[in-house]
Structure 1
Amino acid sequence: MIRSVPRSLAPNAALGLFARTRARTDALAAPLRPEDQMLQSMEDASPVKWHLAHTTWFYEEFILKPRMPGYVSPDDRFAFLFNSYYTQAGPRHARDRRGLVSRPDCTEVADYRAHVDDAMDALLSSGRDDADDIAGLVELGCHHEMQHQELLVTDLLHGLSFNPLLPAYRDPEPLPVTTEVPVSFARHEGGTKRIGHDGKGFAYDCEQPRHKVFVAPFEMANRPVTNRDWIAFMEDGGYTGARHWFMEGHAVASRDGWQHPLYWWAQDGEWWTFTLRGAQPVALDAPVVHVSYYEADAYARWAGARLPTEAEHEIAFRDHAIDGNFLDDGKLRPMPGSAVWGDVWEWTSSPFVPYPGFRPPEGPLGEYNGKFMVNQMVLRGGSCATARDQMRPTYRTFFYPHQRWQMMGLRLARDAT
């Protein structure tokens, strides 16, 4: 028995969520050729084929094997190939060599998915006495798969970006003609506030427990920082001088030759970028994306502002309806506008650390978040690669401050005067 797995899904709804989640993953992989599914462009990224298999292994390892007597895996070696970082679940293949695993091929991985799907359908339809516990595990597995849907498309974008032909994952679509939205700031009163998940509905363990924080009065920008804003930063020497940068950030930027966001290049006096819809001119009024925490913090200082804390972000936007540009919308790139949710994950100044009173679940699922609570920074708000089902105001994602390949952007905050 795995204790403290979140449960909010009724057993009769678990099968629907499972089917919907699996279908979305299959649809994301459907346009790809087998060669596309093998790409691994860096250690941080994984091949599409691995994502398809790993999410399948998750249900097999944590639900089918312990809960379904007589279940037989199509290949016991998959447990070694497709485990990610769950040390308590057994040994695993090296992360940086996932792109070298040509066998099983894509057809065998698809068969593996179908085998597990059939077994999960049978389990969820069996009317067992422990149906509530199974539903909780299924819900966690589905949210885990949604996270890998986001990684699937962003890892794929990174891999395709190295191809000189600049292939498009989806057909290009023109962006609407837009005008600049002036930035403004809304005031939020300070005081002792409660943040974190209240236990109603699904949440990851790292979003809990709900707890008190003190915040001073602050102001939050009405929109994310745009590409137009970022170009002004670049033209003012934002990347060449060290004045606004953390020392470590400037060292990383200098070492790696950062002069603009990831995937940008100059062509005929215009900035272009590589997207999941191929090479396109930079949309000036869309949120800037693929910038690291170091870059985001430097920009904020240059702009005379700062990054918000994650508490400020949650307090400012928790009463806003979850509506915006998400993975489900199929745009696969940030869009012009001033949506609160979606488009780009927004860097905060908060480190990813446990909330007061946090206790990870017992067993291997306790490794899901707790072991990563060091040296990473929190982002809030979701992105154009995030499934809408994932989003809630308390959702915390986290990455290292130098990473750029995710849909990362920023929104400014200020101390209230």
Structure 2
Amino acid sequence: MKNRFIEMRKKSEDLCKPLIIEDYSLQPSEFVSPPKWHLAHTNWFWEEFILTKYLKDYTVYHPDFSYLFNSYYNTIGKRVLRPSRGLMTRPSVEEVYKYRKYVNDAMETLLSANCDEKLLELVEIGINHEEQHQELLIYDIKYIFGNQPAFPVYGNSHGLPEQNINSEFIRIQEGIYTIGHQAEGFSFDNELGVHKVYLNDFEISSQLVTNAEFIEFIENGGYANFNFWHDEGWQWVNSNKIEAPLYWHKIEGEWFKYDLSGLQKVNLSEPVNHISFYEAFAFSEYKAMRLPTEFEWEIASGQFGWGQLWEWTNSAYLPYPNFTKAPGALGEYNGKFMINTMVLRGASVATPVNHSRKTYRNFFHPHMRWQYCGIRLVKKNRTD
């Protein structure tokens, strides 16, 4: 566990190596967190939930850091509001890295001793929590760079494998299926509550929707036809003047997109990325198809390759049967967000290796699209 902890912590800092000091504190939108904040918040998590409880005589690095770097844990106390995370020039980036070393040294001391089962469970949660932030860090860096006039290069982009030209549809028979995490190993509490669901037979695409297919939707007036959209999605499109996926730019008649390697022509064979649920739904209506439910996706996932992009489902993020929130602050980790969000399944090319699994339930508000997300379609039956 100690070696795994060390490697994971190094990965967070490696992701920031291409940055210059000026990049660390930017917050171009309320939903984006500055890279400096990610580094400090994940550090605070280890200090607050583990070191202060399990390491004898541990001294908190700085008394103000809980207020500055708590994210949403009301149980812990007051915190800086999310829109204000980019207003903090202090502590400096240098001080945040000193803070991380201080916590790393303390955690390595703790993990060098005999650890009981409860402590190891908390360390597992901490590792998975920081891995989540590693992926969010990539999203946020991309948004910070992708909204600058010069489209700066971060480094190599997370390349998306090209899709086959002809997508096949996989038929899944109707029946009663078991849903939820059943394997050995870690899972989040929102994956628990193993239960049965009945599914009608359905046919799901073996491929994700490509950029070429989405350009067809754009050129055929998809963003201008209210018939394809939820009412709320239609308001979102018009209020925000949405005309293409996030990071797309039409230059002299050709589509370009910003990626971490810079501005480049859209590859028609790659899966379309940075799509909101509203856009995913509208595209499915345009194609006279639909999005899968999260249960259909989970059952069918063994029949197709996944992990390139998080895939929108048509399922609201709700608790499974017998779901219970953990006591204390960790009970705020998932349960309190089970409203007004939609489930995405799978993983993305930005997801840390071995972090995700077929039962993983990611969730975002339907207008969000800065995350790496795409579309997989299901054929509509005559009764759909």
Q: TM-score, normalised by structure 1?
A: 0.89
Picking from 176, 182, 186, the partner of 1:192 is: 176
Secondary structure at the residue paired with 1:166? coil
Q: Are the structure 2 counterparts of residues 118 and 179 from structure 1 closer, same or farther at C-alpha, using a change threshold of 3 Å?
A: closer
Q: Deviations over 1:8-46 (max 9, x none)?
A: xxxxxx212211211111110111111111111111110
Picking from 340, 365, 371, the partner of 1:406 is: 371
Q: What number of residue pairs does the alignment pair up?
A: 382
Paired residues for 1:249-398 under 5 Å = 249-317=233-301, 319=302, 340-398=305-363
Find out whether 1:139 has 2:104 as its counterpart: no
Q: In structure 2, how many angstroms separate the alpha carbons of the residues matched to 1:162 and 1:246? A: 28
**Letter of the 2:325 counterpart:** P
Q: Deviations over 1:207-227 (max 9, x none)?
A: 011111111101110100010
Segment of structure 1 superposing worse, 307-316 or 339-348: 339-348
Asked whether the equivalents of residues 340 and 381 of structure 1 are also in contact (C-alpha less than 8 Å), the reply is: no
Q: Are the structure 2 counterparts of residues 36 and 356 from structure 1 closer, same or farther at C-alpha, using a change threshold of 3 Å?
A: same
Q: Residue 94 of structure 1: CA displacement?
A: 1.3
Q: Are the structure 2 counterparts of residues 302 and 361 from structure 1 closer, same or farther at C-alpha, using a change threshold of 3 Å?
A: same
Q: Deviations over 1:377-413 (max 9, x none)?
A: 0001111111122111100100000111111111001
Q: In structure 2, how many angstroms separate the alpha carbons of the residues matched to 1:342 and 1:388? A: 10
Q: Residue 66 of structure 1: CA displacement?
A: 1.0
Find out whether 1:81 has 2:68 as its counterpart: yes
Secondary structure at the residue paired with 1:73? coil
Secondary structure at the residue paired with 1:76? coil
Mark the runs of 5 or more structure 1 residues left unpaired by the alignment.
Answer: 1-13, 321-338
Asked whether the equivalents of residues 175 and 283 of structure 1 are also in contact (C-alpha less than 8 Å), the reply is: no
Picking from 107, 112, 136, the partner of 1:151 is: 136
Q: In structure 2, how many angstroms separate the alpha carbons of the residues matched to 1:66 and 1:174? A: 42
Q: In structure 2, how many angstroms separate the alpha carbons of the residues matched to 1:173 and 1:362? A: 38
Q: TM-score, normalised by structure 2?
A: 0.96
Q: In structure 1, how many angstroms separate the alpha carbons of the residues matched to 2:134 and 2:28? A: 17
CA RMSD of aligned residues (A): 1.6
Picking from 196, 217, 223, the partner of 2:207 is: 223
Q: In structure 2, how many angstroms separate the alpha carbons of the residues matched to 1:409 and 1:345? A: 6
Q: Deviations over 1:57-85 (max 9, x none)?
A: 00110000011120012211111100000
**Letter of the 2:143 counterpart:** H
Q: Deviations over 1:324-373 (max 9, x none)?
A: xxxxxxxxxxxxxxx72222111000000000110011110000000000
Asked whether the equivalents of residues 41 and 159 of structure 1 are also in contact (C-alpha less than 8 Å), the reply is: yes
Q: Deviations over 1:117-142 (max 9, x none)?
A: 110000011114xx211111011001
Q: Are the structure 2 counterparts of residues 85 and 236 from structure 1 closer, same or farther at C-alpha, using a change threshold of 3 Å?
A: same
Q: In structure 1, how many angstroms separate the alpha carbons of the residues matched to 2:238 and 2:159? A: 34
Mark the runs of 5 or more structure 2 residues left unpaired by the alignment.
Answer: none
**Letter of the 1:300 counterpart:** S
